[in-house]
Amino acid sequence: MGVVHLGVRLVRRLLLMAVLGILVGCSGGTAPSMPLPTGQPTSGKPAAGATFTEAVVGTPGFLNPLFSDEDNSREIDTLIYQGLVRVGADQQVHPLLAKELQLSDDHLTYTAHLRDDVRWADGAAFGVDDVLFTFGVLQDPAYDRPAASVWKGLTVKKVGDADVAFTLRSPSAGFPLSLLTGILPKHLFSGDVAAMPGSPFSGRRALGTGPFMVDSISADRSEVVLRRNPHATPAPWLDRIVFRSYASLALAVHAAAGGEADAVGGMQSPAFLKELQGGSLAISDVRTFSFTSVFLNISNDIGYFVAPAVRRALAQAVDRRRVVADALGGRADPVSGPIPPSDWAYSHEAGGIDYNSAAAAKSLTEAGWTLPDQGLYRTRAGHDFTVTLVAADAYPFREVADSVRRQLQAVGVRVTVQDVPVSQLVTRYLVGRGYQMAIASFDNGPDPDQFSLWHSSMKQYPLNVSGLPRQGFIDKALEEGRARTDTAGRMAAYADLQKLISEASPAIFLYEPHYQYAVSRRVHGLHMNPVIEPGDRFEYVTDWYVATK
């Protein structure tokens, strides 16, 4: 059961993300939410009223947190539904629909004590039956979504009039993040799980306990209008939020720049940022829970990456700060290991592999990859050090791949960049390790547990891309980080993991990407947690306002 929160997250967010999230460094303790640089009202206090319009790319699918299959619908869901818990500015779990979460002495059972003051948007009371229903759907044999298997080892039962117990097979400190799952109103759905996606309550009549509910969806699904939930606590100031779909990010950016929309978000190219800058829009640049790396296929036939010394040399040959500056215009944070600096479990003392091109060249020579007197590229046993780097054919991955290519060439490694459609990157290349080198971004979420990515027992997991032979110490650090529930113990385990992964170097860790959110200066009260996933930009939406009194 330990893989629930990371398994769900990685199964549903597999792509190298061309659209990512916002943040400011957080290394433990409580950080306040960040005010965003929007305009300031000339006078008056917030008042109810106004419509906020966001330009998005593509049309949303089902508006149901158990069946949402793309980012637009998942992000709209965050305005409609709520989970038992939420993630705070300190990256820790805090109660939401639950008023308290208790852990048993054996660390196997989490008991959620539910609030008694919550109502659904139609006025019905929220309660235990809704929670049991929601998790019952996830465990139903008819539930056929990719994440279904990770819920099978969980026991969910009512243990009081307002209490639900979740019992695991083994301890998992990250399990509470699974309780971010949006709770569904049982009284609006039949017991037919297969029919739920097609229900009007998963679309034009969708409602939850969140601040908004669906008002209308256009026939072509190009526009979704949400209206204020009359039973929401706290009540939002905004009357409505409109999501207007565009065929491309370029068109969405143009709509926001031209005043057709109040906001647009994503990782913006320099050209898009130039169009958005100035005038009526303010742009926020915020860190995310994601990390981007060049993953190395250790099991390739010729064995370029079999020797740890070679892998460490390649990591040493890449100047991450240069990648961030050249390819991303500084809108990212360099990383040298699997846990980025913004994560609460990041250890400065654990360090990583620093850039040193001369040392990298020396290590490659010592590993037998030598430069011929008149040659540009290294050879060993008759083989040139010539490899292919697979990258998504989208910004910023083309630019990042070219920066990496040029830097590895400087130490005698020939890299050919293969641009592939984003839609094929995961299914055709990452899953099954059909690559020599591949650039990928993973959304790890607010918990540092990366068991599924690196543990030797998970080699059959689709996104265990490392291919490392069994590393007992790495496995132990991952197991302790998951099983320990005390912060100090977990931090120690993940400090060890950082050191061990750096030594093993299954990837060239590059950067933690940022998310740019451009918002009209007429909108006030915006603030976010220091580190977010894209949908988290709406966590404090009840504070947003346009009208004043």
> Average pLDDT by consecutive 10-residue portion of the chain (549 residues)?
39 36 30 59 84 96 94 96 96 96 96 98 98 96 84 92 96 93 97 94 98 98 98 97 96 96 90 88 92 88 85 97 95 92 91 93 97 91 94 95 98 97 88 89 90 86 74 94 94 96 94 94 94 92 96
Structural domain count, the chain = 1
Calpha distance 434→300 (Å, rounded)? 9
Helices 397-409 and 320-328: crossing angle in degrees, nearest 10, is 140
Residue pair 52/523 in contact (Cβ under 8 Å)? The answer is yes
Residue length of the chain: 549
**Which pLDDT score is estimated for 12?**
36
pTM score = 0.89
Considering the domain boundaries, does residue 455 fall inside one?
yes
Domain harbouring 352, CATH code: 3.10.105.10
3-state class (DSSP) for residue 480: helix
Calpha distance 220→241 (Å, rounded)? 18
Considering the domain boundaries, does residue 491 fall inside one?
yes
Number of H-type helices and E-type strands within the chain: 13, 22
Beta strands 109-114; 163-167: pairing state: antiparallel
Residue pair 28/530 in contact (Cβ under 8 Å)? The answer is no
Nearest to 204 by CA among 50, 62, 59, 52: 62
List beta partners, residue 245: 56
- Dihedral of alpha carbons 285, 9, 341, 175, sign: positive
For residue 487, the one-letter residue type is T
Nearest to 512 by CA among 269, 288, 348, 315: 288
Nearest to 152 by CA among 3, 347, 342, 345: 3
Considering the domain boundaries, does residue 426 fall inside one?
yes
Domain hosting 302: range is 290-513
Eight-state DSSP code of residue 55:
E
Exposure pattern of 292-321 as b/e (b: 16+ CB <10 Å)?
bbbbbbbebeeebbebeebbbbbbbbbbbe
**Which pLDDT score is estimated for 153?**
83
Contacts of residue 76, defined as CB under 8 A and 6 or more positions apart, other chains included, come to 60, 63, 224, 226, 243
Considering the domain boundaries, does residue 179 fall inside one?
no
Considering the domain boundaries, does residue 10 fall inside one?
no
User: Which parts of 239-279 are beta strand (E)?
Assistant: 240-246, 263-266
Considering the domain boundaries, does residue 439 fall inside one?
yes
Considering the domain boundaries, does residue 420 fall inside one?
yes
**Which pLDDT score is estimated for 8?**
38
Cis omega (within 30 of 0) on the bond before 234?
A: yes
Considering the domain boundaries, does residue 277 fall inside one?
no
Residue pair 140/62 in contact (Cβ under 8 Å)? The answer is no
Residue pair 421/447 in contact (Cβ under 8 Å)? The answer is no
The 3 state secondary structure assigned to 300-366 is CCCCCCCCHHHHHHHHHCCCHHHHHHHHHCCCEEECCCCCCCCCCCCCCCCCCCCCCHHHHHHHHHH
Exposure pattern of 15-33 as b/e (b: 16+ CB <10 Å)?
bbbbbbbbbbebeeeebeb
**Which pLDDT score is estimated for 255?**
96
Backbone Cα Rg of the chain: 24
List beta partners, residue 437: 296, 389
Residue pair 273/279 in contact (Cβ under 8 Å)? The answer is no
Nearest to 389 by CA among 505, 293, 320, 511: 293
**Which pLDDT score is estimated for 15?**
37
Q: Distance between terminal CA atoms of the chain?
A: 51
Residue pair 358/371 in contact (Cβ under 8 Å)? The answer is no
